[in-house]
Amino acid sequence: MARRCGRLLRRESLMIAVMSQVWVLDLEEHRQGYLDAYVAFGEFHRSQPGFRGRRLMAGIADAHHMVNLRYFDRVEDYETMIKRPGYATHIDAMSAHIDITRVPPKEYVELVVADGPDGEELDG
């Protein structure tokens, strides 16, 4: 059962996240190149119906490790986005900076608890 601050979340209020992980080739040029490409990809995401936000996290023990979380209303919203013209160009720009031998498959996950930092509710 999904909960938000001790209350059940209605199924229609839930969102999904697309989680992917990469390892950048180095902590200087390629890490910065990956970050620049990630930022440039932002407007593309924001123009997609169903898009709710995204987060890029860097490993503390291994700063080469990056975890990319993209939030959408539904899996179908994300899958529509990846078919849009221009998507592959952004992916190629980011891929130039990662170890392509260490890319686990992306995973779809759904929101079950919405307790955000500073009490913000993440379920819109």
Q: Please name the amino acid found at residue 119.
A: G
Q: Is residue 21 part of a domain?
A: yes
Q: Is residue 123 part of a domain?
A: no
Read off the pLDDT of residues 57-66 as tens digits, 9 standing for 90 and up: 999 999 999 9
CA 65 to chain centre: 14
Q: Is residue 72 part of a domain?
A: yes
Asked if the model's pLDDT at residue 34 lies above 90, the reply is yes
Measure the CA–CA gap between 16 and 86, rounded to whole angstroms.
23
Q: Please name the amino acid found at residue 40.
A: A
Q: Is residue 8 part of a domain?
A: no
Q: What is the mean pLDDT of the chain?
A: 87
Global confidence as pTM: 0.81
pLDDT of residue 124: 45
Asked if the model's pLDDT at residue 77 lies above 60, the reply is yes
Q: What is the CATH number of the domain that holds 27?
A: 3.30.70.100
- State the residue range of the domain holding 104: 13-110
Q: Please name the amino acid found at residue 118.
A: D
Measure the CA–CA gap between 53 and 41, rounded to whole angstroms.
12
Domain count, the chain: 1
Say which residues have a Cβ less than 8 Å from residue 18's Cβ, sequence separation at least 6.
68, 69, 70, 72, 78, 106, 107, 108, 109
